Structure 1
């Protein structure tokens, strides 16, 4: 009863002071959704997908995770056993305990404050996102099951979520990624993606963003994910020291912020993370909040260039060879890739794949298996 009264007071105060503002409000029934797992329990909470980010009701989440919510002048203070965060009234940012402000979009729907699941990472929880298994799970040291055991234990309920279409993906997701751009042909690349209703993640170089700022703005506007690839793409410069690698990513992020008004935590290092990005490098970079991504399907478009058949065959062979993981396909933002991309997209679409962007709340896929 006490919690209900607190929430009624919370809603009244927000409405009366004009602080409730609906942002990107959607009809939940029409959006892709997953049931949220908390430790070893599959809850009744619907996590709704909006622009490739999953949102849940803050009220429902607080009950499952035993969070303490306090309404303050600047927003809502959310406290867990192992962390806290302040959701600010602009519905676009949040304040961390160290005083740092981060992007974090929230909105109000049907009287409920909706927050991204990734917020729980600031409260001491880890997140598993495996769309092929219809799994979205937050967990801490209280979890006894690993992801495979969790899926097996809740197999029937998770499968029902897939077959009823609530994920919107039929359980098959592919992540397209393009390195080294933007370029003079990025506009053509975006036209192809738009034709097939495909979203992609662009790991971009800072100097190229400066040279093609309009394409950076366009890809963000069209729902693609901007990500970082450093500044120089020169091995001896990027990997000169952990500090030099971090500086390249920070400088790259500053350019993205200048052009689009937003930053990102998604990074891919030049030539992939192995063998050069050893533990000292990763400790230097990933402790700053970055998330490291490599790939599990290499198109080898950098090798075959205009040999479209070889690129296509390589992609499809490696996609079909994956048993448990969703494909993360490496391609490059270059003219030669344009010739084979429609064929790849058409085949993957016929096979039932949905094209999603990589997000910061996903478990990183990298060669070191570093999940930070």
Structure 2
């Protein structure tokens, strides 16, 4: 290889590893990320020769602590710490500052892969072998051996072939949301209940997915519908055990105990556990910092809402519930904010739910579930 080509490869390596701040532009590809001697599920996105990864997923993979707020995130570990500020810079533990380009992708905060060097990791990049790898000195394979061993996993998947043309175009399904790119999160608290099966039927009819924040005793009482939720791809979350303010908020330890018990009940029925929680009556004012430090320190993700249907208040007054949801969703839409709609798993809500889903369809919304890798939305703006 000529000296000119060697220099060019070195420059590409530095840029691709994210050691030079990138200008945000169109994404130009993904690569699977290796960590020491493993290929992870993390997909690094290339933007202007800089690779970006979801900060929360990266923190979990490297066992770094993630705290703070969306405006001032704090990553910390045994070998260092890093503040990531929304205004476009990062500050290392020794006070050194750098400019930083970060962006949101599907609700995830994407940060340059280069930040791992501040925690003792090195970055290797070889596009010819589809190799993007971070190591901390505990690996046993060198880069060539790693690339050879995992070549089938590292190689990007081939794009699917286009579907064959059809002689007759199928009729459009009115239940399917339009391709507008707008997303809504439907959430239901307090279930499951005797009418959850009917609720799931309505969601299925409208092609909608929802996230259910459930109570432990109700999970034990209605295991069949919980299994159906899991099988159908709905989101599974925790709402505690007692739903009694004096018991759940008796102490931070009491709150954590209820969520852990709720999680154990969920796993006993579905074989799955979850990190998603919603506290009884919402997180304000009772779920203060002491509670959040205790419960979120246990790995849970706190979610509230930004659209309150007030179905718990209006019960069977369907028009009031419907108008309340519509007005709030319209406000979210004007500000470009994804609606997170609070409803309750109760019989009265079934009467108005089809109208709400029809409205969301007409507005072009697509239904997604809440997952643990999304940045939590809560009243405290606690990003943990």
Q: TM-score, normalised by structure 2?
A: 0.61
Deviation at 1:39, TM superposition (A): 7.6
Q: Give the unaligned 5+ runs of structure 1.
A: 2-37, 47-55, 63-67, 78-86, 88-103, 107-115, 144-167
CA distance in 1, matches of 2:351, 2:253: 39
CA distance in 1, matches of 2:109, 2:266: 30
Number of the residue aligned with 1:316: 326
Q: Is the 8 A contact 1:120 1:138 kept in 2?
A: no
* Secondary structure at 2:370 match in 1: coil
Q: 1:350 to 1:232 in 2, by over 3 A?
A: same
2:138 pairs with 1:138 = no
CA distance in 2, matches of 1:214, 1:256: 12
Deviations 1:160-185 (A, max 9, x none): xxxxxxxx952200000000000000
Among 5, 14, 36, the alignment partner of 1:70 is 36
Number of the residue aligned with 2:93: none
Structure 1 range deviating more: 119-128 or 250-259? 119-128
Deviation at 1:325, TM superposition (A): 1.6
Q: 1:302 to 1:119 in 2, by over 3 A?
A: same
CA distance in 2, matches of 1:303, 1:318: 16
2:259 pairs with 1:253 = no
Q: Is the 8 A contact 2:108 2:375 kept in 1?
A: no
Deviation at 1:70, TM superposition (A): 3.3
Number of the residue aligned with 1:50: none
CA distance in 1, matches of 2:304, 2:22: 27
Number of the residue aligned with 1:291: 301
Number of the residue aligned with 1:334: 346
CA distance in 2, matches of 1:130, 1:169: 17
Q: Which protein shows a greater Rg?
A: 2
Deviation at 1:120, TM superposition (A): 1.8
Q: 1:45 to 1:234 in 2, by over 3 A?
A: farther
Q: 1:301 to 1:272 in 2, by over 3 A?
A: same
Among 121, 127, 151, the alignment partner of 2:59 is 121
* Count of aligned residue pairs for this structure pair: 254
Deviation at 1:43, TM superposition (A): 6.1
2:331 pairs with 1:348 = no
Q: Is the 8 A contact 1:293 1:365 kept in 2?
A: yes
Q: Is the 8 A contact 2:307 2:340 kept in 1?
A: yes
* Secondary structure at 2:253 match in 1: helix
Number of the residue aligned with 2:278: 268
Q: 1:39 to 1:355 in 2, by over 3 A?
A: farther
Deviation at 1:308, TM superposition (A): 0.3
Deviation at 1:326, TM superposition (A): 0.2
* Secondary structure at 1:252 match in 2: helix
Deviation at 1:324, TM superposition (A): 3.0
Q: 1:140 to 1:347 in 2, by over 3 A?
A: same
Deviation at 1:288, TM superposition (A): 1.1
Q: 1:209 to 1:327 in 2, by over 3 A?
A: same
> Which residues of 2 match residues 8-157 of structure 1 at below 5 A?
41-42=24-25, 44=27, 57-58=31-32, 62=33, 69-71=35-37, 76=38, 87=40, 119-122=57-60, 123=62, 129=104, 131=106, 136-139=108-111
CA distance in 2, matches of 1:268, 1:247: 14
Q: TM-score, normalised by structure 1?
A: 0.63
Number of the residue aligned with 1:187: 197
* Secondary structure at 2:36 match in 1: strand
Deviation at 1:136, TM superposition (A): 4.8
Q: 1:343 to 1:287 in 2, by over 3 A?
A: same
Q: 1:273 to 1:169 in 2, by over 3 A?
A: farther
CA distance in 2, matches of 1:297, 1:194: 22
Q: 1:39 to 1:281 in 2, by over 3 A?
A: farther
Deviations 1:146-201 (A, max 9, x none): xxxxxxxxxxxxxxxxxxxxxx9522000000000000000000000000000000
Q: Give the unaligned 5+ runs of structure 2.
A: 2-20, 44-52, 65-74, 76-83, 85-101, 116-177
Provide the alpha-carbon RMSD of the alignment: 2.7
